[in-house]
Structure formats: structure tokens, C-alpha cells
Chain A
Amino acid sequence: MDSDIFPNIGKPIKNATNEFVDYLVINFGDGFEAFSNSLLFFLVKLERLLRSADPLIILLCVGLLTFAASRRLTLTAGMVGAMWFIGALGLWQQAMQTIAIMLVAVAISIIIGIPLGISAARSERFRALLSPVLDLMQTIPSFVYLIPAAMLFGLGKVPAILATVIYAAPPLIRLTDLGIRMVDGEVVEASRAFGATRWQILKGVQIPLAMPSIMQGINQTMMMALAMVVIASMIGARGVGETVLLGLQRNDSGQGLVGGIAIVILAILFDRITQSAGQRMQAYRNIGG
């Protein structure tokens, strides 16, 4: 069934892409490897730190962090209990691997996402350009970019982090943009009227007032990063995702469930800690009336 109305564009795109990736691998392979190694350097350090630390110390840290963020004892006890439960499931080491990957991915997302969000809030044109890119990042199946990423950076943790950043950064960018746009125009005008520079306005007014929204974005980024762990494990990222993946491959529903529970617990842990930190940051909104 040949039809003339569809010229075959698929094939040239396919070939051009393959040639481009080959070209990158051949000519810039070293550069990508260097980037990969530097990223790996931080990741490995963090992972080693988390895995080698006494679980009691980690549990203590979770407790302190939760208490510092929320000032609530029941929540703190609950979070420490949840973390202990992951260890009791026999997934402590995997959880530490996952946390390390997620933290690095979130850190990169913040470094990229907040400046992009600020730029989008400032320029209508930049926002119009960025918006379809963000849509693409959020909807395109991750395997599409995992294949070239694995080719460029090799299998393992680095392409996993990259895939996670691509998937998880958009909500932070969007919420930063929204947060800064929602800052009361009169307050910004007031600081202009007092002779503040653009940087002073950004640092002293816009970012602090957009902080609840930005914190919400970081929270969303963390949740989405955790959702990526199973897929990331397919290209060798290890961690809790691997446990789920193995359960799938061995037709072991029990193992799949145990891994799934650990991921959910991690998600709840990070969600509660960032949410309560965000709430305390905007405490000035709630006092008085």
C-alpha cells in the first residue's frame, strides 16, 4: 500500500540522528567522558559517604533534618521510623545509592532550573521559546534520550542522572517562573523607586517572595526524580530501582513490592522534609492576620 502523499522523512531523520550521535562519540567522546568523570567524582564520593556511614548516624541525621525543618517531634519520630523500616526491608545499601543519585540530580536541576525560571519570568520571548522545550522534556519517553546518552556517557550512573534531570527539572523551572511573576508588582516597584539594581531586586525581593513556589518546585523535582529511579536502573544506575527491576525480570512480585515500598517511603521522607521547610520559610505570612 504505497501512498504518494507521505514523503518518507522518518528515514532521513533517523539516519541523520544516528550519524550525528556517531559524530559526537567519535569526535567529542573525550569531552563527554571528562564531563562524565567529573560528575561521577561527586556522585561516588557522596555515595561512598552515605553507604559507609553507620546507619545509626544516618537515622540521626534524618531525625535532625526533619526536626530542623518542621520543629515537630511526632513527624520526626515518624520519619526516623520510616527510614529504619527501609533498612528492615533489607534495602539499606540500595536506598543510600538511590538517595545519592537523586540528590545529585536535584542539585543539577536546581543549578540549571532556577536561573532558567528567572530568565523566563523576565523575558516573554525566552519563555515562549522555553515552554515547548519543557513540554518535550516532560513528555518524550525517556528511552529516546537514554539510548544516545548511554552511547555518549557509557552505561551507569551518569546517563541515569542526566535522564533524571531532563525529566525532573521542568516543574522547578515552571514554578520558579510562576513564583517570580506572582510577586506583588507594587513591592517590586517600591524597591525600584528606592534605587535598587536589578540584582538587588532579584536577590532581596523577587527570590525571597517566590520562595514558597520555588520550594514547591524543588519538592516536585525530588518526587519526579524518585519516580525515575526504576527506569534509570535499566541503564545500570543500581539502587532501589534495581530491586524492582530484578523482581520484574525474575517474575518475583514479592521483591518488586518490597522495592516499591522503599521508593514510596523515600518519597514521603523527602516530601515531608521539603514541605515543612517551605512552610517554615514563609512563616511571616501566617502570623497575625
Chain B
Amino acid sequence: MGTMAKIEVKNITKIFGSNAAQALPKVEAGMGKEELLAETGAILGLKDVSLTIEEGEIFVIMGLSGSGKSTLIRHFNRLIDPTAGQILVDGNDVMKLSNKELEQFRRQKMSMVFQRFGLLPHRTVIQNVAYGLEIQGVAKTERETTAMEWIEAVGLNGFENKYPSQLSGGMQQRVGLARALANNPDILLMDEAFSALDPLIRSQMQDQLVELQEKLHKTIVFITHDLDEALRIGDKIAILKDGVISQVGTPAEILLEPEDDYVRAFVRDVNRARVLTVDTVMQPPAMRITHDNIERALSEMVRRGEEYGYVIHNKEYRGYVTQEVLEEAVEDKSSSATIYDLAVEGNSVTLEDTLEEALPVTLEADHPVPVLDESGALKGILSQEEVGQILVPPSEDDEAESKPVSLKVIDKEEETLKAAS
């Protein structure tokens, strides 16, 4: 046995309706959503969903409205019970918990952050943040001390005695986040937590979440309908469509190797330059020079047909050399320059840079740009051609061409829904 997954969802099926039990065999036999609705009146929410979420990762479940993502996240803390299937948290079957045990489980294992915040309007910020602890019966002074720490952690000090209605949306959601964290749960469930916020605040909150996560190392399950958000904060992304998982993978895998037309259509409009980081597209350095013998370096470069060589000393990148420079140095016998003197440092990019950030450097340079890690070691090179290739969306096959149309329709539906509400 390997390490145990934090959350394991096994073959969850959820059918809504009073006749769910009779409808289940039909779904298992492969009946689709529309057919089931027409025949039994039951609504298929999730179909045979299985997921493995590892400790400490931000796992994003992405789908449009009606895809079942909010239903799925409510299975983790059993706000909704599945019609069939199993949910294991730390190896324990959540379905087997009694009511009392379930309350304890919700108090200790996971906290939830809601799309419309779900704050108690008649309580002040500090009382809201302390709510989870109050439920557990923690004494007032102790829970307010803890609450205050988290209010500070999300940057709301000075607002602790305000009511939620006195705060802006972004601040209210920080209260929601602080309330969830004050319980000190292993797992954080975030249901479209940032979707109700305007774009600027949303990206601030995303940054804050990622920043907090670097300190806290919680397991975070994050629901969103926004692929940009998913790609920005997710370590892993699951794409859900009509209650079925389309693909699970890292952001780069989702972008670069979409498994079906649905995902392909989705990722087409994504600004890849902003999402992809250098480490996902760089190539290994073709010509590493780890010694200071100029002649040997030149002959190796000529033999391999490499125009540029990257000089490394004590695992540290020192600069690049061209064949031309080395030839001149070999010819000029009077020169006592070492290869380190000849190496031109030039610009470099780091592993975590997005392509958008790396692009200007790459375009300016006439050679493949070196990619360095934080200790200054050479990890790879980034050429203009590679960047260009990656930034062009995948070419469409014939079957993929019909898909964007249907996606547009879904988008429109969502817009009208928003307008109506």
C-alpha cells in the first residue's frame, strides 16, 4: 500500500427525486440524464464519479452550472447523501457515521466556504469567525482569541465588531475564510467561494488563498465555473460535465493534452501565456559546459552542431557562449581568458515565471533563454519557437469544430441566468 489519499470518492452516483432507488439500476445500466428524466422524473446529479484527492493539494472541480459540481462537494461533508457509492476521508467511510459522529466530523475534519458567504447577519465579524468554535463548546475568551488571530491573518483587523452588512463582498468572503480556518480543519471545502466577487477582488482573494496555503498546507477542494481560476490556483483539476468527470489532471495536462472535445473546447479560449509556467514548456539544455577547457567545449559544440553552450560551474549557471566566441578565443593564443570570462550572462527566466512574464525576454534574445531555479542552477532552456508553438491553441479536428458552438450556447445560458437573478 502506498500513502493513503486524504479524500477518496468511489463511484458516487446521485439521483434526485423520490424514486431515486428505482432509478438507480437504470442509471447503472447506462441510461442518460434526459432519458431518465423523461422516463422516471428523477434527475441525475452525478454519475459514477471517482476522485482521489491527496493531502496538501488544491484540488479544483470545474464545471458549468448544472454540471453537478456543487452537488459533488456537498457529498464530502455529507450535506448531501449519495444514492450509491463511497466516500473515504483519511480512510474512514463517511457514509457509516452516525448523526453524532457526523457532527463531530464536520466540526473537526472539514470547514466550508460558500459562494454567497453564508455569514450570520445578526452576528459581528468576530462572532461569525468564532461560530464554529462556539458550536464545539469552546469558552468565549478562548474562541475569541483564536478568532482574532484569523481575522488578522485575512487582514480584517479593525473590522471585528462590524456586522457583515457593513462590509464589502470581498471582506465578507474573508470573514467566511477566517471562519472556516478558525476551526483548524484538515480540509477546506470552497464552493464557488470567489465567484460572487468582482474580478479585481477575485484575483486578490485567489492570491491570498495561495499565500495562506503555502503556510498552512491544508487539503483544499475548490469548486469553480471559471477555468482561468481553476488553472491559476489548482494543483489538480477535475472537469465535470453533466455529472460525469471528463478529465482529471494538472493545469498543464488539461491545457496541453485535453482528453475530449468538451475539455478541448473549454481550453481553447484560455490565455495560455498567463496560465502556463516556464517549467511546463522548457526543453532540457542541449549543450551544458561543466569544465573550463575551451578547446574541448568548442569541439563538442561543433560535433553536436550546437550554436550555443551554457556554462555551469559548481552547479551554478555562469552564462552562455557561442561557437564564434570560442573560435576567436582558441585562435587568439595571447589571450588568457577562461571560459567563465567569455560567458555572457544575459537575461534568464525562472521556473515559476508564466510564459507571459517570460515572453519579452525570450523574444529579445537571439538565443534560447536559460531557465534557472531559485538557487541559480540551470534547469532548461526556452526558445522562441517552443513558446510560439505552445501559445497557438491545438489545431481542431473535424469533430472538434462542432463543439465550440455548443459551448457558446451553455455560456449564453449562464449569462441569462445571471441576468435573471
Contact = CB atoms under 8 A, between A and B. Distances in A.
Interface of A: 184, 186-187, 189-197, 200, 204-205, 208-209, 282, 284-285, 287-289
26 contacts: A186-B116, A186-B118, A187-B119, A190-B114, A190-B119, A193-B79, A193-B189, A194-B106, A194-B112, A194-B132, A194-B183, A195-B102, A195-B103, A195-B104, A195-B108, A196-B103, A200-B135, A209-B120, A209-B121, A284-B122, A284-B163, A284-B165, A287-B163, A288-B162, A288-B165, A289-B165
B121 A194 contact: no
Given A284-B165, A285-B165, A197 B103 contact: yes
A190 B179 CA distance: 11
A194 B120 contact: no
B163 A194 contact: no
Contacts of A289: 165-166
B121 A284 contact: yes
A186 B176 CA distance: 12
Interface string B337-371: 00000000000000000000000000000000000
Contacts of A287: 163, 165-166
Nearest to B162: A288
Contacts of B173: none
A194 B107 CA distance: 5
A275 to B, nearest CB: 19
Interface string B95-116: 0000000111111100110111
A187 B118 contact: yes
Contacts of B77: 193
B320 interface: no
A191 B135 contact: yes
Contacts, number: 76
Contacts of A196: 103, 135
Given A193-B106, A209-B122, A282-B122, 9 more contacts: A184-B118, A186-B116, A186-B118, A191-B120, A193-B77, A195-B104, A195-B105, A195-B107, A287-B163
A195 B136 contact: yes
Interface of B: 77, 79, 102-108, 111-112, 114-122, 131-132, 134-136, 162-163, 165-167, 179, 183, 189
A189 B79 contact: yes
Nearest to A205: B120
A194 B122 contact: no
A191 B120 CA distance: 9
Given A194-B183, A195-B104, A189 B118 contact: yes
Contacts of A193: 77, 79, 106, 111-112, 189
A287 B114 CA distance: 23
Contact of B111 (A186, A194, A200, A208): A194
A282 B119 CA distance: 16
Nearest to A185: B118
Contacts of A200: 135
B336 to A, nearest CB: 72
A257 to B, nearest CB: 45
Leading 5 A-B pairs by shortest Cβ distance: A190-B118, A288-B166, A195-B107, A195-B106, A193-B112
A204 B118 CA distance: 14
A181 B162 CA distance: 26
B271 to A, nearest CB: 32
Contacts of B112: 190, 193-194
A205 B135 CA distance: 12
A169 B163 CA distance: 34
A187 B172 CA distance: 13
Contacts of A194: 106-107, 111-112, 131-132, 135, 179, 183
Contacts of A205: 120
A192 B135 CA distance: 10
B183 A186 contact: no
Contacts of B136: 195
A108 B163 CA distance: 34
Contacts of B135: 191, 194-196, 200
Contacts of B167: 288
A217 B104 CA distance: 36
B420 to A, nearest CB: 18
Nearest to B167: A288
A195 B103 CA distance: 4
A209 B132 CA distance: 18
B78 to A, nearest CB: 10
Given A194-B106, A195-B105, A197-B103, A186 B163 contact: no
A184 B165 CA distance: 14
Nearest to B110: A193
Contacts of A208: 122
A194 B108 CA distance: 9
A29 to B, nearest CB: 46
A187 B179 CA distance: 13
